[in-house]
Amino acid sequence: MTIAEVCKKYDISQDTIRYYERIGLIPKVPRTKSGIRDFDDISCRWVEFIKCMRSAGMEIEILLKYVNLFKKGSSTLKERKNLLEEQKQKLLKKQKDINETLERLNYKIELYDEIEAGKRKDFAEEI
């Protein structure tokens, strides 16, 4: 699969993929005889994983640590699992914060709906 195809499939820019490969987040992608990147299944799985973790908010430094541990083999399973569990806890906190914000937004929208419908005359809660 070409880099253009991978970019389209995972909705990621070529510059980002090249950067991830350059800094070691994605293992060296196999190349054709003419030197063009030829993404295989393993390369694509790495792109997908890194994109997912970045979307989840995982910092590049933590991902680099994870990849370096991965390269060391199964003796690092516990450390890798711990990194993922830490990320999970951060995401759960973020999810809680988002849910609280959504509740507040829903309340405010409902308040404005009531004001517009003439069901509420008290504008003190408008803020």
pTM: 0.79
Q: Are residues 51 and 79 in the same domain?
A: no
Residue 86 domain boundaries? 74-122
Q: Are residues 110 and 80 in the same domain?
A: yes
Q: Are residues 49 and 79 in the same domain?
A: no
> Would 104 be classed as within a structural domain?
yes
Q: Are residues 50 and 88 in the same domain?
A: no
pLDDT exceeding 90 applies to what percent of the chain?
83
Supply the pLDDT for residue 120. 81
Q: Are residues 44 and 83 in the same domain?
A: no
> Would 66 be classed as within a structural domain?
no
Which of the four pLDDT bands, split at 50, 70 and 90, describes residue 116? confident
Supply the pLDDT for residue 119. 84
Q: Are residues 49 and 85 in the same domain?
A: no
Cβ neighbours for 18, distance < 8 A, ≥ 6 positions apart: 3
Supply the pLDDT for residue 124. 67
Which of the four pLDDT bands, split at 50, 70 and 90, describes residue 126? low
The structural domain count of the chain equals: 2
> Would 127 be classed as within a structural domain?
no
> Would 99 be classed as within a structural domain?
yes
Whichever domain contains 20, its CATH number is 1.10.1660.10
Cβ 26 vs Cβ 14: under 8 Å = no
